[in-house]
Amino acid sequence: MPAERPTLPGPSHLEWPFLGDEHRALAAEVARFLAHAPATDAPAHAPAHADPHDHATTDAACRRWVRALGDAGLLRHGVPAPFGAHPAISSRALCVLREALAAHDGLADFAFAMQGLGAGPISLGGTPAAREAWLPRVASGDAIAAFALSEPDAGSDAGALACRATRTDGGWRLDGVKTWISNGGIADFYCVFARSDAASTGAKGVSAFLVPATTPGLDASARLATIAPHPLATVRLDGCVVPIDHLLGEEGRGFALAMQVLDIFRTSVAAAAVGFARRALAEALGHAGRRAMFGGTLGTQPLAQAILGDMATDVDTAALLTYRAAWQRDVTGTRTTMVAAMAKLGATELAQQVIDRAVQLHGGQGVASGAVVERLYREIRALRIYEGASEVQRLLIGREALKAAGAEGR
């Protein structure tokens, strides 16, 4: 069941005041790139209904996307100048790219996003030598990056990290376990967060380290399978020693560095959700216009029209939240904690509803393995969890709202 190529959002989207001519040019650039990119279920790529345990096929597909995105110059938007496309990473550029890539292929979006996220600690806290060594390779697609924060007992409560970093002669020894690590098993380097002060608790005393994948004592062979296949692994660090200059940022300030990186990329998660939702709406509209029903088409039925109306409204609501947050970070320079959390929460939850309705409108075809809307149904689910689960975003928004009202603690 070949997937039809999606189209990028029309002028009503790109002409919003949140975006400028450079973003419209970028949208046209990624559209040209995707016009020649393989469809999701093309033989050269992992099929839409890929076996989640077929890691070799998924790994190869992800590597191809990284290479293609690098060759096209699109990965340069995920790292700062002089290695990237902007003096500082542009939230709106990330969002335009991720929305378009997600609408085409969830693995394409994953490959793009993880390059920027995985290299983020180097972009913000790496030494000049580390930046020179790795960021050009990330931007070109020559090196694959991974962000290693989560642990078996430290997910949403990332301050509960147990991975240890111990000073040695001329370096740091890392011991512990990281899990749910995207690009685990195929990454060329990992940005690892570990507790460097054994007496510390919570977010204090955590440091960040650059760990090349070839470092003795690093094992990323324990692969994980999910409902929407992508490279994922548990990473074990056993007496893994890195040089002293592989510390990223200040000692003991690694958790703050991790939050800085996540703050940059959180709004782009919302954009990926918008991309999935737009594709689902497009598939539903096309199906409604084709599907014969009760002497007309599905689209002539009032109930279907009402469902499509809700879907269209939810897509634009999600997009408005997303691009408002990206605009605020890029243009005003003010804190975006609350608006980014609103975008991430709103877009992912609304996209889940949109895609669910698209599956429902497709009837039996919607749950057939390999159908576009079936793939989207699997792909959207993880976005409500990673980079801050919806429940965490709700708490964060509530706290920020109380602060703004001067009512915190009352």
Active site residues: 387
Angle at 326 between CA 405 and CA 227, to 5 degrees: 105
Place of tokens 């409560």: 157
Signed CA dihedral, 288, 289, 291, 294: sign only: positive
As given in the structure block, the two tokens for residue 231 are: 């490279």
Question: What is the spatial distance between Cα 59 and Cα 6, in angstroms, rounded to a whole number?
Answer: 24
1 Cα distance to chain centroid: 27
Q: Which of 202, 233, 218 is nearest to 59 (CA)?
A: 233
Contact indicator for 151, 179 with CB cutoff of 8 Å: yes
Radius of gyration of the chain from its Cα atoms, rounded to whole angstroms: 21
State how far the Cα of 126 lies from the Cα of 282, in Å rounded to an integer. Answer: 42
CB atoms within 10 A of CB 263: 17
Grouping H, G, I as helix, E, B as strand and the rest as coil, residue 373 is: helix
DSSP 328: I
135 near 83, Cβ under 8 Å? yes
